[in-house]
């Protein structure tokens, strides 16, 4: 769901990806087969990535439409690991509707499109995935809806992904399934292809059993994940929640704290905190053009003493409205001087047709208007609100211009924005205010950790960040940069695949 963009240098370990000693480095050998009236594509792929979306998007250029690599965190993490793996396929939806695309190669990746109809998109993606699972897994910040026709659509789409993965994967291949949109796939794939090594990684939080139990389809979804040999989560807490759930539902027995037994088969559970392409962010932040852009940005802001920054999708889980409320109260209490502090809030568009998101946008824009109306000057608003997607270069300039980064979600699987900001602080300046309910808080312990539900505590953290002494800021940032550098995206993919290979 996030827009993080990384193209890491290629250093993926083929022996870990494939679990073999002899690797055919040619592209997958495609074979046409006919089952009934349906034409299918088979290949002897040794590694198959299964994700809701393909890592590309179709754009209009001078020569017509063409594919471009999407700016996504998953692409950043997996592309380097795939580079040396030989026979690799990536299955996913293109984002188009009623489009039947042939498999194709792009930017060193072999891509297999999985089609969706408008109805399937509405039921599977907009309905079950984002109307049921997303709010439930994020502590029901908004109520989750339970509709049988949503689940029916979700199940049909998951079956299509599983069938395609079974068709593409070679004998004994490794299949890595990703995220909450495809939780039934591992179980379906296990039934069809018991020879496969199957991994699953959940990019969002996994809720406590007490919340998950509300799902009418709790057994089916749990069994779906139990089809994997290795189930990965952003944090060890997510693994603990699933461990208790599976045992409590009577669908598995306990082997160890990190392993379950299902029908005599071992299922391992573990936290794998995802990282970013640290090298890319670190290098880009010191690029002369980015440095100049950051200086120009501060000048356009009126050269304030401190710049605060928030970069989020406009989503009710991100706590944008609470963050703005805290800032508004600090201005009213004169604990922050509006002539010395400016705030930039990027809120990238998200699901504008959904009532909860429309209400959130109205709330956020009302708060921005109130703050600027009460405390802004002609030509110098206090809050600069951007309801648009920003390019990688623009984000780099914002990260470099910002003295304080505000990352205050009510719940988040990881939140890579926090890590991106840290990676850009090559001079060890800046402060990070971070929600304790983001997965990143388990690693970035030298951030100013806050409970985003506690507005007074959030206000105190913002003031502390603004007034932090340079030596203290440097000590904290140095420690966080060390963590981000040691746990980058390539390490994440490598560690997961190594663990899966040994499962």
CA distance 453 to 270: 28
- Are 44 and 82 spatial neighbours (Cβ–Cβ below 8 Å)? no
**Taking the CB of residue 391, how many other CB atoms lie within 10 A of it?**
10
256: buried, middle or exposed (CB in 10 Å: 19+, 13-18, 0-12)? exposed
CA distance 325 to 368: 9
Catalytic, 110? Answer no
Closest CA to 203 of 12, 320, 53, 351: 53
H or E stretch covering 312: strand 306-313
What's the token pair of residue 197?
């090594």
Instruction: Enumerate residues 6+ apart whose C-beta is below 8 A from 465.
Output: 403, 404, 431, 432, 433, 448
Instruction: Enumerate residues 6+ apart whose C-beta is below 8 A from 293.
Output: 393, 394, 396, 397, 400
- Residue 265 pairs in a beta bridge with 262
- Are 494 and 17 spatial neighbours (Cβ–Cβ below 8 Å)? no
Closest CA to 222 of 117, 147, 133: 133
CA distance 418 to 399: 10
What's the token pair of residue 191?
């039934």
CA distance 12 to 95: 28
Q: Which of 277, 412, 446, 491 is catalytic?
A: 412
H or E stretch covering 7: none
Closest CA to 203 of 4, 356, 8: 4
Closest CA to 251 of 230, 274, 278, 224: 224
- Are 482 and 352 spatial neighbours (Cβ–Cβ below 8 Å)? no
Instruction: Enumerate residues 6+ apart whose C-beta is below 8 A from 461.
Output: 433, 448, 449, 450
Q: Which of 110, 203, 243, 384 is catalytic?
A: 203
Catalytic, 15? Answer no
Convert 10-43 into a string of H (helix), E (strand) and C (coil): CCCCHHHHHCCCCCCCCCCCCEEEEECCEEEEEC
The strand order across the sheet containing 265-271 reads 104-106, 109-113, 88-93, 45-53, 169-178, 197-201, 230-233, 265-271, 259-262, 253-256
Q: Which residues are catalytic?
A: 203, 412
């Amino acid at each position: 769901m996030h827009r993080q963009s990384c193209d890491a240098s290629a250093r993926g370990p083929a022996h870990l990806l494939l679990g073999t000693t002899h690797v055919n480095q040619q592209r997958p050998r495609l074979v046409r087969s006919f089952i009934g009236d349906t034409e299918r594509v088979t290949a002897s792929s040794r590694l198959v990535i299964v994700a809701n979306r393909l890592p590309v998007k179709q754009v209009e250029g001078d020569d017509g439409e063409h594919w471009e690599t999407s700016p996504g965190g998953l692409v950043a993490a997996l592309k380097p690991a795939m580079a040396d793996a030989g026979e690799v396929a990536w299955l996913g939806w293109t984002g188009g509707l009623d489009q039947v695309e042939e498999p194709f190669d792009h930017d060193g990746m072999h891509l297999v499109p999985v089609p969706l109809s408008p109805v399937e998109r509405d039921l599977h993606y907009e309905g079950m995935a984002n109307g049921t699972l997303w709010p439930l897994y994020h502590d029901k910040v908004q109520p989750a809806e339970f509709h049988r026709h949503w689940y029916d659509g979700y199940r049909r789409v998951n079956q299509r992904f599983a069938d395609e993965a079974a068709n593409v994967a070679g004998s004994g291949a490794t299949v890595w399934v990703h995220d909450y949109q495809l939780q039934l796939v591992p179980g379906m794939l296990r039934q069809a292809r018991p020879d496969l090594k199957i991994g699953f990684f959940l990019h969002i939080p996994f809720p406590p059993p007490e919340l998950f139990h509300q799902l009418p389809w709790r057994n089916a979804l749990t069994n779906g994940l139990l089809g994997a040999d290795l189930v990965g989560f952003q944090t060890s807490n997510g693994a603990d929640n699933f461990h208790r759930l599976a045992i409590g539902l009577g669908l598995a027995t306990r082997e160890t704290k990190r392993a379950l037994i299902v029908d005599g088969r071992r299922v391992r559970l573990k936290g794998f905190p995802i990282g970013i392409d640290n090298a890319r962010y670190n290098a880009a932040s010191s690029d002369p053009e980015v440095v100049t852009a950051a200086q120009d940005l501060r000048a356009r802001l009126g050269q304030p003493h401190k710049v605060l920054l928030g970069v989020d999708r406009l989503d009710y889980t991100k706590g944008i409205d609470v963050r703005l409320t805290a800032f508004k109260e600090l201005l009213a209490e004169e604990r922050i001087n509006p002539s010395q502090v400016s705030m930039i809030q990027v809120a990238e568009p998200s699901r504008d047709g959904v009532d909860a998101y429309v209400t959130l946008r109205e709330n956020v824009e009302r708060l921005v208007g109130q703050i600027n109306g009460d405390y802004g000057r002609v030509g110098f608003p206090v809050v600069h609100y951007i309801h648009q997607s920003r390019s990688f270069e623009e984000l780099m300039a914002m990260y470099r211009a910002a003295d304080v980064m505000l990352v205050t979600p009510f719940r988040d699987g990881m939140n890579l924005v926090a890590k991106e900001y840290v990676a850009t602080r090559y001079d060890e300046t800046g402060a990070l205010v971070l929600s304790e309910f983001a997965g990143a808080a388990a690693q970035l312990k030298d951030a100013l950790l806050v409970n985003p539900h506690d507005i007074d505590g959030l206000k105190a953290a913002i003031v502390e960040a603004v007034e932090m002494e340079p030596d203290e800021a440097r000590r904290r940032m140095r420690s966080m940069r060390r963590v981000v550098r040691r746990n980058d995206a390539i390490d994440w993919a490598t560690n997961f695949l190594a663990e899966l290979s040994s499962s």
